[in-house]
Amino acid sequence: EIVMTQSPATLSVSPGERATLACRASESVRTNLAWYQQKLGQAPRLLIYHATTRATGVPARFSASGSGTDFSLIISGLQSEDFAVYYCQQYNKWPPWTFGQGTRVEI
C-alpha cells in the first residue's frame, strides 16, 4: 500500500501567520490527493481534492500544491478556527486508500 508521511507532526504558529504543511507519498499518486481538516470532537472536513482544488465553502486562505510524491497545504493568515489536525489522503492506488498520520496546527 502507499504510505503517506506528513510533516511536521505539530506546527506551532501565531494567528495571522502562514502555515505550510507537507505530505509525501511513498510512490507517485499523480494529483490524486485530498486534504482534510479535523477539529477536536468533530468529523473530518474535506478542504482540497485533486491536489489543488478547494472544496465548496473552503476559504481562499487555504491553498495547496504538488503532484507525484510531494504536496503542500498552505494556510495564509491563520485564524483561530484553523487550529486543528490536518490529514492528507491518496486515492491513486487502492485498496486501500491511505491517509497520512496528520499534522496538528496549534497556537
Q: Which of 52, 47, 46, 45 is nearest to 31 (CA)?
A: 52
- How far are the Cα atoms of 6, 17, 51, 87, 106 from residue 78, in angstroms, in the given order? 19, 5, 20, 17, 10
Tell which one of 49, 62, 71, 86 touches other proteins (CB under 8 A). 49
Pairing label, strands 62-67, 53-54: unpaired
With binding defined as CB under 8 A, does residue 45 bind other proteins?
yes
Only one of the segments 16-24, 60-68, 72-80, 93-101 lies at the binding site for other proteins (rule: CB under 8 A); that segment is 93-101
Spatial separation of the C-alpha atoms in residues 66 and 79, rounded to whole Å: 24
Tell which one of 13, 22, 46, 58 touches other proteins (CB under 8 A). 46
Place of cell 502555515: 19
Give the shortest CB-71-to-other proteins separation in angstroms: 13
With binding defined as CB under 8 A, does residue 100 bind other proteins?
yes
- Interface residues with other proteins (CB under 8 A) are 32, 34, 36, 42-46, 49, 55, 87, 89, 91, 94-102
